[in-house]
Amino acid sequence: MSGRLDGRCAIVTGAGRGLGAAIAKVFAREGASVLVTNRSAKRGEQTARDIVKAGGDASFLEVDVTDSEAVKAMAAEAAKRYGRIDILAHNAGIFPSAMLDKMTEDQWNEVIDTNLTSAYRSVKACLPQMKKQRYGRIVITSSITGPRVGYPGWTHYGASKAGLNGFMRSAALEFAKLGITINGVEPGNILIRPLTSAAGRHHDEAMRPAIPMGHLGEPEDIAYAALYLASDEAKYVTGQTIIVDGGQTLPEADSIIL
pLDDT digits 0-9 by tens, 15-41:
999 999 999 999 999 999 999 999 999
Domain 9-243 classification at class level: alpha beta
Provide the pLDDT confidence category of residue 192 given band limits of 50, 70 and 90: confident
Beta strand pairing call for 136-141 and 180-187: parallel
Among 184, 170, 215, smallest CA distance to 91 is for 184
CB 188 within 8 A of CB 181: no
State how far the alpha carbon of 95 is from the alpha carbons of 22, 58, 125, in Å: 18, 27, 24
- Kindly list the catalytic residues: 157
Q: Which stretch of DSSP H or E encloses residue 36?
A: strand 33-38
Q: Taking the domains of the chain in order of start, what are their residue ranges?
A: 9-243
Beta strand pairing call for 180-187 and 241-244: parallel
For the segment 116-149, what is each residue's pLDDT rounded down to a tens digit? 999 999 999 999 999 999 999 999 999 999 999 9
Strand arrangement of the beta sheet that strand 136-141 belongs to: 57-62, 33-38, 9-12, 87-90, 136-141, 180-187, 241-244
